Structure formats: structure tokens, C-alpha cells
Chains A and B, each alone.
Chain A
Amino acid sequence: MKKDEAHLDRARMHWILSLAGICLVMGALLAIQVRSRTPEERLLSTRFGVTGGGPLGALSQVLAATQEQVEDQAEEIAAQRELITQYEEHMAKEKDIVKPMAEQLANAKVALGLTAVKGPGIVLEVDDSILKLGEDLHQYAQTGLLIHDNDLLRIMNELWAAGAEAISLNDQRLVGGTAIRCSGPTTQVNSVPIAAPYKFIALGDPDTLAGALNIPGGVLENLRLVQFPIKLEKSTELVVPAVPTAKKFKYARPVETSASTETDSTSPHAVSDTRKRRAAGK
């Protein structure tokens, strides 16, 4: 009788223990599942470097970072305005010396896109194709009916190559550092999202610019083949806006000319430089 009971007890213990073992594994699996991040959270962490706090927390971190940036830029604008008024005061005082410098500065500003510019040129408007899905083309051709970032890039390239001096795309000035990127349904230019229809304004010789775009086998002919609506007009008086903010240089520094190259190997500066480099390499 007693032996039987002990046996029964052990059997009962045994089943509870195997259940416990299984539950241990189950808990581990649940933990892994809970720990795993959603694709959105992954995206946020890789694109913006935010982790934890769920998608909402991550988004609020991005928002905070962006607001900080905006504040920084507002501060910079205020500082720049201050500088401009100082320049103007100086200019009033020393007109003769400063005049050529001011002209140089104005030229540089145009090149950098810091001022709006006007002149003759062309206006090019392109839109997504008028072909209808299903009726005219198969489903797989859907993406072929939209203007993509690489179409815009090719147009921009052609315009620069044809000697355009200033270009804007949907009121965004295209300058040296401008990136034209696909971002889902919109395209980002200067980090500003824009969408079709796309309107290029390019300043330069109108005939040359229009001719470059219309070259046989060129950008526009390819687009016309798939019936993208294209409107190209020459004009004598166009305005291209300025970039919203100038590019900040965090890493690139101007190379010091003449003085530093002459005394390259003998100056104590150069010696300490190589020493530093060696130390960094080791």
C-alpha cells in the first residue's frame, strides 16, 4: 500500500517536471518573440539610429532630433543676417575697396545657389504617362509609367551638360550637393519631398538647352515613346529660386595654398603632422 503511494507520487512528480521543462523552453521562445522588433522599428533604428521605446517612442526621438536641427538652423540664419548687416555697414564706409570683393561674393553666391537668379532659359514640364493600366499595358509595366528619380537625374545631367547656369526642380534649386532620390511615392530633392508633375526651370541659352533635351535618342525621346506628357517652352525671363539653407562644411576644409606647400618638409608643422599620422596608423 505504502509502496504504491510512493510510486504514484513519483509518477505525478515526473509529469509535472516534464511539463516544467517544456514550459521553460516555451518561456524562452516567448521572450525571443517579445524581444524581436517589427520591421518599422528596425527601419527606424538603422535609418535614424534610434532604439527602444516602440515605434512611437522611436518616432518621437526622430521628431525631437529634427526639431533640434530646425532650431540650430534658425540660430544660424539669425547669425548670418547679423553678419550681412555688418558687411553692409562696412560697405557704406569703405565703398571703393569693398566693391570688387562684393562683386566676387555675388558671383560665388550665384554659383552656390544662395541667391535667386533670373534670365532667359527653358521651362520643362513632365508628368506620369497617360497610358492606362490594363487597357494599354500589362500590369508588370506599371512602374514604367511613372517618372522616376533616374529620369529626373538624366534630365538634370543633360541640362548641366548643355550649359545651364541655374536649374530648379519644382521650386527646389539644384546645386552641387543636391541629391534627387526616390522615396516611395514622392521624390526627394534637397530633402524636400516633391511629386509629379515635375517642372524644371533652367537658365541658359534657350535654344541650346532645348536642343540638348530633344536630341534624337535622348532623354525626352525615350519618355515620349511611352507617352509621358512633356511640355517644353523657351522663355526670355525666368526666375530660379535660391536654396533654403547653405551647405554646412563639417569635414571638408580648404587646402592652404602656396605658404604650406613651399615649406612642406622642413617646417616643424610638417614633421609633427607625419608623426601624428604615424601614431594614428599604429
Chain B
Amino acid sequence: MFLIPVLALVIGFLLVYSLHIDVSASYADYLAIAILAGLDSITGGIRSKLEENFEEYIFTTGFFVNMALAALLAYTGDRMGINLYLAVVVALGVRIFQNLGRIRGHLTARLLHRRLSASEAEKI
């Protein structure tokens, strides 16, 4: 079941890769930051699922809105002559890292718990 999102990622990648879409260099930066925001949303969604407070509408709207906001923030920074791009990258980087850390924590906890319960069951 966990393979479905991974498969979707690969399919989406291959589909668009074959289309030869070329974004101009000035927009490539904003696209990169949008991708970063998207990664943050995805890791955040997985984390909240593991923490049992996953809300689907927050997840789906958050993905698109956060991406747009991140790109918009970087764009505004460029217009104003302030490197807000860097601020967005740092903020999102920290969040992604925290999300991944929490996911790792939950998964290891579950794994240990399962193993413990299994061995307990054997004892009994």
C-alpha cells in the first residue's frame, strides 16, 4: 500500500519528463522553492498521519497553497531586492528536517512496539 504514492511519484515524473517542458531560468528558482514547499507538505502530511491528526483538506489545500506562497514570497523578495529566497529555503529546510525526524521517531517506535508485542505474545 505504501507503494502507491511512490509509484504515483515515479509515474508523474516520467510522464512530464517525456514532455520536454523547459522552464526559463528566471522561473526555475521559483519552481525549486515550490518543490521544497511541496516536500514540506508531503512530509508534514505523513507525520500528521502517524500522529493521528491527519486532516485531508488541510493536507491537499496546504500542498498547493504553500507552494504558491513560497514562490510568491521569493518573488516578492526579488522585486524588493531582499533575498527572501534564502529565508524561505532555510525555513522550509528546517521544517522538512523536523518532519523527517518526527516520522523516523514514530516509525521506529512502532517497529519496536510491534517487535515487543510479538515477543510478548510468544512468551504467553
Is A34 a contact partner of B17 (Cβ separation < 8 A)?
yes
Given A36-B31, A37-B22, also A25-B38 (CB < 8 A):
yes
* Interface hits, B43-77 → A, CB 8 Å: 45-46, 49, 54, 56, 59-60, 63
Is B14 a contact partner of A36 (Cβ separation < 8 A)?
no
With a cutoff of 8 Å between Cβ atoms, the chain A residues found around residue B32 in the complex are 33
B121 within 8 A of A: no
Q: Which residues of B contact A (CB under 8 A)?
A: 1-2, 4-17, 19-25, 28, 31-32, 34-35, 38-39, 41-42, 45-46, 49, 54, 56, 59-60, 63
With a cutoff of 8 Å between Cβ atoms, the chain A residues found around residue B31 in the complex are 29, 32-33, 36
User: From A19, which residue of chain B is reached at the shortest CB distance?
Assistant: B5
Q: Name the distance in Å between A24's Cβ and chain B's nearest Cβ.
A: 4
Report the Cα distance A15→B23, complex, angstroms.
Answer: 32
Is B21 a contact partner of A32 (Cβ separation < 8 A)?
yes
Q: Which residues of A contact B (CB under 8 A)?
A: 12-39, 42
Q: Name the distance in Å between B20's Cβ and chain A's nearest Cβ.
A: 6
With a cutoff of 8 Å between Cβ atoms, the chain B residues found around residue A29 in the complex are 16, 31, 34-35, 38
Is A19 a contact partner of B11 (Cβ separation < 8 A)?
no
Q: Counting chain A CB atoms within 10 Å of each CB, which of B10, B24, B25 scores highest?
A: B25
Is A31 a contact partner of B16 (Cβ separation < 8 A)?
yes
Nearest 7 A/B pairs, CB to CB: A27-B12, A27-B13, A31-B16, A20-B8, A24-B12, A31-B17, A28-B16
Report the Cα distance A20→B7, complex, angstroms.
Answer: 8
Report the Cα distance A18→B39, complex, angstroms.
Answer: 15
Report the Cα distance A34→B22, complex, angstroms.
Answer: 9
User: From A37, which residue of chain B is reached at the shortest CB distance?
Assistant: B22
Q: Name the distance in Å between B54's Cβ and chain A's nearest Cβ.
A: 6
Q: Name the distance in Å between B12's Cβ and chain A's nearest Cβ.
A: 3
Q: Name the distance in Å between A90's Cβ and chain B's nearest Cβ.
A: 59
User: From B34, which residue of chain A is reached at the shortest CB distance?
Assistant: A29
Report the Cα distance A134→B99, complex, angstroms.
Answer: 50
Is A36 a contact partner of B12 (Cβ separation < 8 A)?
no
Given A16-B4, A22-B45, also A36-B25 (CB < 8 A):
yes
Report the Cα distance A17→B5, complex, angstroms.
Answer: 7
Q: Name the distance in Å between B117's Cβ and chain A's nearest Cβ.
A: 19
Is A14 a contact partner of B16 (Cβ separation < 8 A)?
no
User: From A17, which residue of chain B is reached at the shortest CB distance?
Assistant: B4
Report the Cα distance A28→B22, complex, angstroms.
Answer: 12
Is A35 a contact partner of B12 (Cβ separation < 8 A)?
no
Is A15 a contact partner of B11 (Cβ separation < 8 A)?
no
With a cutoff of 8 Å between Cβ atoms, the chain A residues found around residue B4 in the complex are 16-17, 19-20
Report the Cα distance A33→B24, complex, angstroms.
Answer: 10
Is B11 a contact partner of A35 (Cβ separation < 8 A)?
no
Q: Name the distance in Å between B98's Cβ and chain A's nearest Cβ.
A: 19
Is A23 a contact partner of B49 (Cβ separation < 8 A)?
no
Q: Show 28 A/B contacts (Cβ-Cβ < 8 Å), sorted by A.
A: A15-B49, A18-B59, A20-B7, A21-B8, A22-B5, A22-B59, A22-B63, A23-B5, A24-B8, A24-B11, A26-B9, A26-B12, A26-B42, A27-B10, A27-B13, A28-B13, A29-B34, A30-B9, A30-B13, A31-B15, A31-B19, A32-B16, A32-B23, A33-B35, A35-B16, A35-B21, A36-B28, A39-B25
17 more contacts with CB within 8 A, not counting A27-B15, A27-B16, A29-B31, are A14-B56, A16-B5, A18-B59, A20-B5, A20-B7, A25-B38, A26-B35, A27-B8, A27-B11, A28-B13, A30-B12, A30-B35, A31-B19, A31-B21, A32-B23, A32-B31, A33-B35
